[in-house]
Amino acid sequence: MNVEEFREFGKASVDYIADYIENIRKKRVLPSVEPGYLKNEIPETAPPSGEQWRNVLSDVDRVILPGLTHWHSPHFHAYFPTANSFPGVVGELFLSGLGCVSTDWQSNPACVELEVRMMDWLAKMLGLPEHFLNESEGPGGGVIQNAASESTLVGVLSAKQKTVEMVLKEHPHLTDVDVKAKLVTYSSKESNSSVEKASLLASVPMRLLPTDAECRLRGNVLQEAIDKDKTKGLIPCCVVASLGTTGTCGFDDLEEIGRICRKENIWLHVDAAYAGAALVCPEYRYLLKGIEYVDSFNFNPHKWFLTNSDCSAMWFKNTKDAEAAFKVKATIPEEPLFEPQIENWQIPTTRRFRALKLWFVMRLYGVEGIQRHIRQQVSLAKYLEQLVRADEKFELLVSRLGVVGFRIKGRDYLTQMLLNKITERKNLYLMPYYFQNKLMVRFVVCSRLTEKEDIDFAWNEIKCITNEMQTNIIN
Ligand code: PLP
C-alpha cells in the first residue's frame, strides 16, 4: 500500500467509523449469528498476493459487522463501560500512526515526558494525594500500565519484593526461598477475578475474605484473617482493596483496612478500575477516605474515563519499591538522562505512546467535560433506580454510581427467565449477578451515548417481558 492509498483507506475508514457510531442506536445490541458463522465467510488461508483495500473494507461490513456485539450501543448495559470517544479514537490513530514506543528517555523523550506529565494531570483531576505525583519532592509517581489486571500484579509483586527484603533484614539467617514460601495476601470475595489471578501469577496465596451486607471488606474480618495466618507462622504481605467492585460497585472500608496495613506493615493496593473515574467529581472524593495508607492505586481511563483501550493508570507512594521488584541491571550502567525512570515500574520492556490519547481526551473534554459525562451517567442510573422503586413487581438491590441491581420479586427463576428472554430478544445486553443470595439483573450505564430515552427503552423492554411472562404463568 502506498501513501496515496493509505490516505484514501484512512479517510474512508474514518467515515465508516463515524457512520457506525452515528447509527449505532438503530442496531440490535447483540448479533444474530450462530457459533462458527465466520468459518465459511473467510478463506482458510491468507491471500497469496495483496488485495485492494476497498475489498477489505467491504468485508468488514459483510463479515465482521453481523457478528459484532455493539459495545457502544446505548443499549449495552453489561460488564462496565469500555471507553470510546472521538478524541480517544484519534489518539489511538496517532499513537499507532506515529508508531513509536519507548523504553528509557533517550529512546523517545516525548513519549516518556508526556506520560510523566499526564499522570500528574490525572492525579490532580482525581484529587489524589500530592505524594503520588511525579512532580512531588518524594519518591512517589505514576505510570500507565496495560490493564488493571497488570497493575494489580505489579502491586502484588512490589509488595512481595518489599516484604522479602524487610524480613531478610530482620532475620538474616533465613533465605529468600524460606520467606517467599510463607507469604500470604488478602482481598475480598467480591474483588475482580484479576485480583486472584495476580496472586496466582505472583505465586503468593490469597485469602478471599467475606464482605458485609454492602459488599465491603471490613477491618475486623481482615484482622482476624491476619492473626490466624500469623499464628501459623505465615507472613502477611499485601492487601488488595476494591473501590467499586465488579458485581455491585461495592467500596471496601479503606480507612479500617489501611490502619491495619500500617500497623502490620502490609502493602495496600487499591483496585479502582471502574469507580476511580468518578473521583474527577469532588462530590465522590469522600470515597478516598483512608487513601493516606495506600501504597499503590489503580484506575482504568479505558473504562469510564473516555480513553480508548488500553490505558490503566497506576500510582505508587514509593516508586523505589517497584524498582526493587522490576529493575534489571543494565549491561552498560549509565547515569539516567531523565528522572523518573518510569520504565522500571512496569512488566513489558517497551511502552506504547498511550499518554498521547490521554492528552487528547483531557484537552478536548476538559475537566468539566469529563465531570459532565460522569454526572450524566450517574443521573441515568438514578433515573432507572426510581423507575424500579416505583414498580411494585420489582425489588431494588443496589444502586451505586452507574450500577443498578434489581430483580423480580419472588423466586430466582423469574429473574432468570427475564434475563434469558432479554438475551433471546437481543435488544439489551445485561448480566446476572448473585447478591445477598438472590439473583439480580445487573444493569450498568455503559455507553457515552446513553440518554434518558434509552433508559426508558430498556425499562419498557424489561417490563414488557415481565408482563408477558406473568401472563403466561397465570395461563
Ligand atoms: N478490577 C475491576 C474492579 C474490574 O471491574 C475489572 C474489569 O472489569 C478489572 C479489575 C480488570 O480490568 P482490566 O481488563 O483492565 O484488566
Which percentage of the chain shows pLDDT scores above 70?
A: 99
Residue nearest to ligand 1 atom 12, measured at CA: 148
Q: Convert the pLDDT of each residue in 180-224 to its tens digit.
A: 999 999 999 999 999 999 999 999 999 999 999 999 999 999 999
Buried b (16+ CB within 10 A) or exposed e, 2-22: eeeeeeebeeeeeeeeeebbe
Q: Is 399 in the pocket of ligand 1 (CB under 6 A)?
A: no
Q: Convert the pLDDT of each residue in 346-395 to its tens digit.
A: 999 999 999 999 999 999 999 999 999 999 999 999 999 999 999 999 99
Q: Convert the pLDDT of each residue in 325-359 to its tens digit.
A: 988 776 666 788 899 999 999 999 999 999 999 99
Rounded distance between C-alpha atoms, residue 177 and residue 240, angstroms: 23
The yes/no answer on whether domain 100-352 falls in CATH 3.40.640.10 is yes
pLDDT of residue 251: 97
pTM attached to this predicted model: 0.96
Q: Which one of 76, 82, 194 would you pick to mutate in the ligand 1 pocket, going by the greatest count of ligand atoms within 8 A of its CB? A: 194
Q: Convert the pLDDT of each residue in 71-82 to its tens digit.
A: 999 999 999 999
Q: Convert the pLDDT of each residue in 166-179 to its tens digit.
A: 999 999 999 999 99
Q: Which one of 215, 216, 246, 270 would you pick to mutate in the ligand 1 pocket, going by the greatest count of ligand atoms within 8 A of its CB? A: 246
**Helix (H), strand (E) at residue 170:** helix 148-170
Give the torsion sign (CA, 319, 323, 326, 330). Answer: positive
Rounded distance between C-alpha atoms, residue 388 and residue 379, angstroms: 14
Rounded distance between C-alpha atoms, residue 464 and residue 475, angstroms: 17
Q: Convert the pLDDT of each residue in 128-171 to its tens digit.
A: 999 999 999 999 999 999 999 999 999 999 999 999 999 999 99
Q: Convert the pLDDT of each residue in 411-469 to its tens digit.
A: 999 999 999 999 999 999 999 999 989 999 999 999 999 999 999 999 999 999 999 98
Q: What is the chain's mean pLDDT, rounded?
A: 96
Examine the pLDDT at 308 and tell me if it is beyond 90.
yes
Q: Indicate which atom in ligand 1 lies nearest the CA of residue 275.
A: 3
Residue nearest to ligand 1 atom 14, measured at CA: 147
In 291-437, alpha helices (H): 301-304, 319-326, 355-390, 412-425
Q: Is 246 in the pocket of ligand 1 (CB under 6 A)?
A: yes
pLDDT of residue 334: 75
Structure confidence at residue 475 as a pLDDT band (50, 70, 90): low
pLDDT of residue 327: 80
Nearest to 423 by CA among 162, 149, 75: 75
pLDDT of residue 332: 64
Distance 442 CA to ligand 1 centre (A): 16
Distance 273 CA to ligand 1 centre (A): 6
